[in-house]
Amino acid sequence: MFGSKNKNLGQTEEPPLPSPTGIRAQGPWDRSERSVESTAAFLDFGSILVRPISGMEIQVASNDSTNLAVLVSLGNSAVELRVAAASKHGDDWAQLVPEVVSEVSARGATPVERSGIFGPEVSTEFPGQDADGNAVIQPACFMGVQGKRWLLRATLIGPSAVAPDAHTALINVIRDLVIVRGSEARMLGEELPIQIPGEMQDPSS
């Protein structure tokens, strides 16, 4: 009733953390599924905890005074991360896929729906220009992962979007994420707040 005692140390053992199943069996994780100690070195963006790795560059995309997304870059590829409040049961991402398809088409690209490691995803190639004005193609892949009342939207950008399998470094970045939903009542689809970690803030500001 009060937990077991470790006979050797005389300390109360902590109850085991819950383990996700299905597509989240290897992450991304809910805050309740990871101990504070295991994420002590993670970068804290408020609703998203990111495990730093060598070669990683991180930016926070913002609009005026509102932080909108976390952008993680590795080499010539990147992943944009957003998280929103979601239903307790159901598949919010599957319902959003048609909306993503429409948005891609509206931008003049051809959407391709397919099944990926996290479930339904939409891949495409956006036409664009490089710094010298030359025409280029920018691959992108839109993915969604639903957790405990949260929905993570991850968009791969660049070469890693062409074949985003379990071996790509950015997929591993997504799997290592810890999402902090909080207990506040939120509207479905309401984006969770993103803050800039102290390590990334300008000390002169």
pLDDT tens digits, one per residue of 115-130 = 999 999 999 999 887 7
Judge whether 189 lies within some domain.
no
Q: What is the pLDDT of residues 171-201, one digit of tens each?
A: 999 999 999 999 889 999 999 999 988 777 6
Assess if residue 25 is contained within a domain.
Answer: no
Residue tagged 């990871």 (tokens) = 34
> CA-CA distance, 161 to 6, in Å (whole number)?
48
- In a domain? residue 195: no
Give how many domains the chain has, as a whole number: 1
Residue 4 falls within a domain, yes or no?
no
pLDDT at 132: 83
- Spatial distance between the Cα atoms of 35 and 157, rounded to a whole number of angstroms: 31
Domain that holds residue 159: 31-183
Check whether 86 has a pLDDT greater than 70.
yes
Strand order in the sheet with 43-44: 29-30, 178-179, 48-50, 43-44
Q: Does the residue 97 lie in any domain? A: yes
At residue 11, the pLDDT reads 56
Predicted pLDDT of residue 133: 83
pLDDT attached to residue 205: 52
Q: Is residue 122 part of a domain?
A: yes
Query: Is residue 96 one of the residues assigned to a domain?
Result: yes
Say how many C-beta atoms besides its own lie within 10 A of residue 105's C-beta: 12
Query: What number is the average pLDDT over the span 96-114?
Result: 97
Instruction: Say if 196 falls within a structural domain.
Output: no
Indicate the pLDDT class of residue 1, thresholds 50, 70 and 90.
Answer: very low
pLDDT at 199 (0 to 100): 72
Question: ∠128-130-109 over CA atoms, to 5°?
Answer: 10
